Chains A and B, each alone.
Chain A
C-alpha cells in the first residue's frame, strides 16, 4: 500500500479485532481491481445470448444461416447442438432441470434460445438480430395464484408425469392441531393477505464468465464471479463429464453478489461448451436487461397469515404460502428445505404454537427465488411475522413495541426451541429493543406524531424485530445437492513468520481479505498486514460451499479461528522444546508462548515459526513446518437479531414517502471488525429501502417483463437514503469459537417490515389504512389512502 500520510496508531491498526481499514482497498481505489470483464486472454472470442421475446411459446424453427454468414461469427449454438453433448438441460440446485437453450418451447420471456460466438462484443450483439426464430405463442401463466387453476396452461410438459404447474408440493412445519387450539383459545385474531413481491439483487456488476479449455491438456480454466466456486466446479464436472481436478475456477474480484451469483446460468454452460468445442477462450458477459430478466430473482411469496393473542401476548401464527418459482425450480437452498428457512416465521416470540405451509408453483417467468440477502427465505418470514405483529397490535389497540416486549422470548429461555423446530442460541431481545427506542427517542417521536397528526401532517413510526438463522450448516441437518455445508481453512506460516490463510468463503465486497486476517491476528498475534487471505481460486482454497446466507463469519470465520488454534497448539509444543519446559507449563499472550512461572522466558510466534522450519530438533512425533487444515462443521446455525425503527413522512397530497430516520440496532454477537459490520448494515438498509419503496419486477398478462432496465427497476440513490443511526448489543454466540454470528443479511431482513409498518402507522388513524403491499410507490400509497390498496399484480 502506497503512501499513507500519517502512521496510524495502534488503535487504528489493531492486531486482532477492531476497526482495521481494509487491505483490499488498495487496488479498488486505484481502479486496479480485476473484475470478470477486465480479463482478456489471447485468442479470446465473445458470446452473446439470443433470448425469447415470448413468455410461453413453441419453437417452430430456428434459422441460424444469416448469422453464420456474418464474417465475424464463429459459431451459433442451439439446443440441438447441446443435445449431442448432453448439455441441453442442466440440473438445478433444487433437483429440477433447467433448459440451457430452449429446444421445444420457451417458458419465460428472456429465456435462452441460441448462443452466438463472434470476434468481439459488438459483432456478437449484431449477430443476434440475424438469427430467425419462428415462435408459436401460447397462453402464459403469470399470476401464481392462478397457476394451479384447472385451465392453466401446462408449463413443464418436458417433465414426465408433470400434470400441473406445481413445482414443489406443500411443505409443512409446526403443529397444526396445537395451532388450531391456540386460535380457539385466543381473544384476538387478525388475518392478512401479504405479498412479498418479486425483486432482484441487481449487483452493479452483471454476471459473466470466461471459459478457457485447453484441448491439449484437457484443463478447463474458468474465470467467473460466483459466490460458490467449489460447488460450481462440482456441477460442471458432473454436467460436462470432466474430472473435477481438471477444472479450475478463479473468481478474482466480484462487483457484488447478494445471491445473484450463486446459481449456474445457461450462459456459463454455453461458454464452456463453446470453448470445449472450439478450443479457444470464450467470454460471455450479460447486459443489464439480461441480468434483470433471466438471472436469479428474489422473493415472490404470496402469503396468507393469521395471528392471535391471549391476555395481551402473541400466542399463535398460521401461514399459508404460494411460492412463485418461475419456469424452472432453481431456488438455491439446502436439500430438505424447499421453503428454505421460512419456518423461522415463528419469529422472536414465545408462541404457544405455529403452523406453516408452503407450496411452490411454476409460472412463465424467470427462474429463481432465493437471493438478495434473503438468508434462505428469512426475509420473507420476518416480513410476514413483523407485519402481522403490527396488525395484531393495531387490532388490540396496543403499542407495537409494547406487544413485542410482552411476547419476546426471555433471556433465560435460551437455548430456545421454537414451535417450528429451531433452537435459537442466545439472545436478550428486550435489551436490544430498548437500545433502539433510546436512540430513536421513541416517546418523543410518538408525541411529535400526535402533534403533526393534529395539523394534518402524516408521520409514521414503524418497528421490526427479527431473529434470523444463518451460517448453514450442520452436516447432520443440511446439505446442498448432497454436499455438506462445511467450509475449510488452510493456514500456513512461512519461515518469515508471515502467514497465508486459504478459505472457502468467497468475497464479493464483504472485506474477507481484512476480517479473516484479523481472526488470524487475534489468535496468533501476527499483524493483519502479514496475513494473506486467499480465496476464490478452487486450486488454492479448501473445498467449501461459498458465501451466501451470511455464512462467511459463522462457518469460514469459525474455520479460521479453529485452524489458527491448531497452529497455536502446535506452536506450543515447539515452544516447549525451545524453552525446555513442558507444554502444560506454558501460557499464551497474543503473539507469544511463555513459561507461567517465569514470564520473561518465552518464544514469539515468529521465533517458533523459524524454529519449525529450521534444522533444530522438533518435539517427538511432530513434523516440521507450521501449518494446519480444518474443515469446519458448524454445530448449529447462529441467530443474530436486531431491532429496527423507521420514521417516515408522507406528503398528504402526492403520497410520496420519505424516510426521515432509520435506527438499526443489531446483535450479531462479537464483531470482528465493527467498521465492516456497520458498512454491511448500511448497504442492507439501503436495499431494504429500495424493496420497500421502489424495487419490483412486474409482468403484464402476457408475461412481458415491465422492469427490464434500470430505468424501471429503480434502485435508491444517495438522495433516498438517510443517515442511518446504528446501535449494537453484543450477545456472543455460545457455540461459535469467536462468539460471532454473522450480519450480512440482517439489514435486508429487518428493514422492509419496519418501513411498511411505518407507512401504515402514518396512514391508519387518518385514512384507515391497515394494509399495503410493497413497493410503497407514490401511486400505490395514494391508492391505499383512497381506500383501495392493490396487490402488485
Chain B
C-alpha cells in the first residue's frame, strides 16, 4: 500500500507493506538512520521519535498509522547549522557515550522541554524512564536536560 508521512516537514511517500513498522519506514528513508531500535518488546526507547510533538515508540507503530500526522526525528533538531539546546546540552555535559540511545533521549528531552520548560530532576528522570541507556547511568543526561532548560530560559529572557 502507498503510505505518505510528513517527516521533518517533508512528505515521504513509499509503497510499503501494511505491516511495515514506522521505525523501518523512517530508517529506509535516505539520511534518516538516526532513529534506532534495540529490542523487540517496546521497552528500550531507542526508537523514540515525535508524532505531533509527543514522544512515540516508532517500533510499536505501523507506518500506515502515521499518515496525516507529523513525525519529527533527531535529524530535525539542528536547523541551519544551529544545534538545538538539547543537543548542545548533551555535548556540554557528556550525556552520551556510545550514542545509540541518544536520538531517542534527545527527542524525549525536546518534547519534555516543549511541554514543561522548567522540569525538576524527578520530572526529567520520569520523562526518560521509557528509554534505557547502558553507558551513562543517566546522571549526565539529567544534567544535560537541565542545562538545556536553563539555556533556553536564558535565551528567551534575552530576546
Contacts and interface: CB of A to CB of B under 8 A. Distances in A.
A30 B44 contact: no
Contact of A204 (B73, B92, B100, B126): B100
B40 A22 contact: no
A710 B44 contact: yes
Nearest to B128: A718
B15 to A, nearest CB: 13
B61 interface: no
A206 B90 CA distance: 24
A203 interface: yes
Contacts of B125: 717-719
Contacts of A254: 98
Interface string B13-53: 00001011000100100001111111111011010000000
Contacts of A717: 125, 128-132, 138
- Among A5, A202, A678, A717, max chain B CB count under 10 A is at A717
A256 interface: yes
A289 B75 contact: no
Contacts of B139: 682, 721, 723-724
Contact of B91 (A29, A683, A684, A715): A29
A32 interface: yes
B97 interface: yes
A204 B129 CA distance: 15
A675 B87 CA distance: 18
A122 B100 CA distance: 23
Interface size class of B (residues with CB under 8 A): 35 or more
Contact of B129 (A253, A508, A684, A718): A718
Contacts of A633: none
Contact of A721 (B24, B97, B137): B137
Contacts of B140: 679, 682
A31 B74 contact: yes
Interface string A680-691: 111111110000
Contacts of B43: 709-711
Nearest to A33: B99
B156 interface: no
Contacts of B112: none
Contact of A679 (B33, B46, B87, B136): B136
- Among B96, B98, B136, B142, max chain A CB count under 10 A is at B98
A255 B129 contact: no
A204 B98 contact: yes
Given A29-B83, A709-B40, A710-B41, A204 B133 contact: yes
A291 B99 CA distance: 19
Interface string A644-677: 0000000000000000000000000000000110
B11 to A, nearest CB: 20
Contact of A509 (B17, B88, B97, B106): B97
Nearest to B46: A204
Contacts of B100: 33, 35, 203-205, 255-256
Contacts of B90: 25, 29
Given A22-B94, A511-B97, A711-B43, A683 B35 contact: no
Contact of B99 (A255, A258, A686): A255
B99 A28 contact: yes
A289 B134 CA distance: 17
Given A22-B94, A255-B36, A721 B138 contact: yes
Given A204-B133, A679-B140, A30 B78 contact: yes
Given A29-B87, A679-B94, A683-B134, A288 B99 contact: no
A21 interface: yes
Contacts of B36: 35, 37, 204-205, 255
A558 to B, nearest CB: 22
Nearest to B102: A28
A616 interface: no
A4 B96 CA distance: 18
Given A2-B81, A25-B91, A206-B38, A718 B138 contact: yes
Given A21-B91, A510-B97, A719-B129, A205 B38 contact: yes
Contact of A29 (B81, B96, B135): B96
A284 B23 CA distance: 18
Interface string B45-82: 01000000000000000000000000001110110011
Contacts of B149: none
A468 B106 CA distance: 36
A287 interface: yes
Given A3-B81, A29-B106, A719-B125, A204 B101 contact: yes
A684 B133 CA distance: 11
A529 to B, nearest CB: 14
A31 B101 CA distance: 10
Contacts of B7: none
A679 B135 CA distance: 8
B39 A709 contact: yes
Nearest to B92: A21
Contacts of A719: 125-126, 129
- Among B27, B43, B78, max chain A CB count under 10 A is at B43
Contacts of A2: 78, 81-83
- Among A22, A709, A710, max chain B CB count under 10 A is at A710
- Among A21, A31, A253, A710, max chain B CB count under 10 A is at A31
B142 A718 contact: yes
Given A679-B140, A719-B125, A30 B91 contact: no
B5 interface: no
Given A2-B82, A288-B41, 8 more contacts: A29-B83, A29-B102, A31-B33, A202-B134, A288-B44, A683-B135, A686-B136, A710-B39
28 contacts: A2-B83, A21-B94, A28-B99, A30-B74, A38-B33, A122-B20, A203-B98, A204-B98, A206-B38, A255-B99, A255-B100, A287-B40, A288-B38, A288-B39, A288-B40, A509-B98, A510-B97, A675-B94, A678-B94, A679-B94, A679-B140, A686-B134, A686-B137, A686-B138, A687-B134, A709-B39, A718-B126, A718-B138
